[in-house]
Homo-oligomer: A and B are copies of this chain.
Amino acid sequence: MNKKPTLKDIAQLCHCSITSASRALKNSPTISLELRKRVQETASRLGYIPNSLATSMRTGSTNTIAAILQDFRNPFFAVFAKYIEEYARDQGYTTLIITTNESAKKEYEACMTALGKNVDGLLLFPVQKDDKSVLLLNEQHIPYVLVGRCFQEIDTNTVLTDDEQGAYLITKHLIEKGATHILFLNSYRYIYSSRAREKGFQRALEHSTVMGDIVETSMDFGNTRNTLKGYLKDGHTYDAIITFCDLMGFEAYNTLHKMGLSIPEDILLASMDGLQQDIIFPVELTSAGTDRKEMTRHAIDLLLELISHKQAGKEKQESKKIILPQFLIQGETT
């Protein structure tokens, strides 16, 4: 026998109806103990696995959420994917993880895939090159929560960290450590958190004599390295570097190190994310970040709330915006 066994097969073998077989497998009290046992034994003997597609078709819910995020080569997203999948599973949900590579087109396609598969809701780490995906999700009336980034003009359920505060903390820290001229390697300004971090950086510099420059670069492999090299040609006066995220901080460390600079003696380095909470890396960067497990919990709790709200047939309620605090994590680089 090469085909997956179905309820029908079980029913035939047990000389009962498909309905009874279904109920027996659920241990329904309306079925005689004898039949229940018979059905369950047959099922396990055949290696029966319920076809969840059929169940979903019938019941209208898949018990699946989608998580759409950027790129697993960045441990920031990889770690989130892990925590999301883990926590969602604890709540009885399967997670469909899709990556976008920071491409708006792929993001849109990811949403289409998720919608086509009838996920009950989704967590979106938005690319923010455009807002098509969010508009799509709104139009399709599917519960979703934005994570990490948000759109100022669109009202959405969102879970963020206080990026402005994180950048402020890290900048203040560098100033305390004696920085006089800081280079901030930021990510693209279309990203909300990039603008927020820029604000925090500038607020920390106010009323001080410390100088700060901001460059826009990206998380792509090698970009931080190339940008940094360009800025550290002879004659520069930078004594501190801030990077948008730890992944860029890694590249910066690697680059400075190879240029023969000692960190933190010759130059200070700090970044944002605080990944050392989740993974031990060769060098611990000084970084600002938040607890990603907690952030995940908030995001999924909110999403599941929206889902059950919708399944109960209620009207859409007012959007929630949760902002988690950032804190400073002292590493070896300052």
Contacts and interface: CB of A to CB of B under 8 A. Distances in A.
Contact of A50 (B116, B224, B254, B257): B116
A75 interface: yes
A84 to B, nearest CB: 10
A34 interface: no
A282 interface: yes
B141 A221 contact: no
State the number of copies, please. Answer: 2
A99 B116 contact: no
A282 B280 contact: no
Interface of A: 2, 4, 47, 49-54, 56-57, 62, 71-73, 75, 78-79, 81-82, 85-86, 94, 96-99, 101, 112-113, 115-118, 136, 139-141, 221-222, 224-225, 247, 249-251, 253-254, 257, 278-285
Given A53-B117, A72-B78, A81-B81, 9 more contacts: A47-B136, A49-B112, A49-B115, A50-B116, A52-B118, A54-B57, A81-B97, A221-B278, A282-B285
Nearest to A251: B280
A274 to B, nearest CB: 14
Contact of A82 (B4, B99, B141): B99
A72 B62 contact: no
Contacts of A254: 280-284
Contacts of A79: 72-73
Contacts of A224: 280
Given A99-B82, A99-B85, A257-B283, A278 B73 contact: yes
A125 B127 CA distance: 30
Contacts of A71: 82
Nearest to A2: B141
A97 B52 CA distance: 17
Contacts of A101: 86
